[in-house]
Every structure is written in C-alpha cells, then in structure tokens.
Amino acid sequence: MPPAAAADAHPHRLQRLALALAAVVVSVNIWTGAPLLALWVGSRTTGSTRLNMGSVVLVVIVLAVCVGLLVALLARINAAYERAAGHVDGPRTSAPWLRSLRGERPGDAAFRVVEQISVCSVAVCALLFNVWFFFFAGSPLGPA
C-alpha cells in the first residue's frame, strides 16, 4: 500500500491517540490530582496546625466535586474516542463485568480503550502506593 493510501486508511489515528492520552491524564488525575487539590484547599482553610471538622468537610466536598467532574470528562472523552474509532451506537449492552459468564462467546467481553486505560491506571496507582507504603513511608511509630 502506498504511504498516502496508508495515511488515508486511518484518518482519525492522531485524534484517537490524543483522546487516549487525554484519558490517561484524566484517569491518573482522578487518583492523584483530585485528592491533592482537595487537601490543598483544606490546608488553606485551616488557621492553625490543629485539624477542624470544617476543613475535613471541605476536603470531602472538594474531592467529591473534582472526582465527579473528572469522571464526567472521562465519559465525554470515551464518547469522542468511540466516534473517532468509527464505533456505531448500537443497541445498549451491559458492561463486560456485569454479564453472566454462562454461555458467553469469548468475543463478547471486549473492553473499550478508555476502560482499559482506567483499569491500568488503577492498577499502577495501587502498585505505586504499595511500593511507597512498604518501602518509603517509614513507620509512624518511629524507629524500632
């Protein structure tokens, strides 16, 4: 296939790549950026070194709003990716993890790209948290 024909075969490849990268950034920020922003806002509202309930409630509210907005943004990115990939909206189907495993064909349980990115980001964040907790955090009880 000539190079020009190869480029025309996937006209939305760059758009899909950009949307996948945006999904990675948003998915990682659900686990890192939103909690850090919520803690920063909470730290700005407390006037002393003591913890107060107003700051805790504010952190919870900011975290819930930020995560809600990021999840909504991730859903929009997913919809845009599906359009760029040429997937047609067909009949509504349940997610692969909600289906019964009895009598399914192997091809039925395919994850979409944004779902794969979300699952991978959760796995990477969990792995990094465990590495930090067990090797770098230190003991809260002090040296043993």
Domain holding 26, by residue range, is 11-87+110-136
Q: Kindly state whether residue 5 falls inside one of the protein's structural domains.
A: no
Residue 5 in this model has a pLDDT that exceeds 50: no
Token reading at 107: 């091809």
Token reading at 42: 């909470």
Amino acid letter for position 115: E
Q: Kindly state whether residue 103 falls inside one of the protein's structural domains.
A: no
Mean pLDDT of the chain: 81
Q: Beta-carbon neighbour count of residue 112 at 10 Å?
A: 15
pTM for the structure as a whole: 0.70
Count of domains in the chain?
A: 1
pLDDT of residue 38: 95
In a 10 Å sphere around its CB, with 0-12 CB exposed, 13-18 middle and 19+ buried, how is residue 115 labelled? middle
Q: Kindly state whether residue 97 falls inside one of the protein's structural domains.
A: no
Q: Kindly state whether residue 100 falls inside one of the protein's structural domains.
A: no
Q: Kindly state whether residue 36 falls inside one of the protein's structural domains.
A: yes
Q: Kindly state whether residue 17 falls inside one of the protein's structural domains.
A: yes
Q: Kindly state whether residue 58 falls inside one of the protein's structural domains.
A: yes
pLDDT tens track for 117-126:
888 888 998 8
pLDDT tens track for 49-78:
777 888 899 999 999 999 999 999 999 999
Q: Kindly state whether residue 141 falls inside one of the protein's structural domains.
A: no
CB 94 within 8 A of CB 84: no
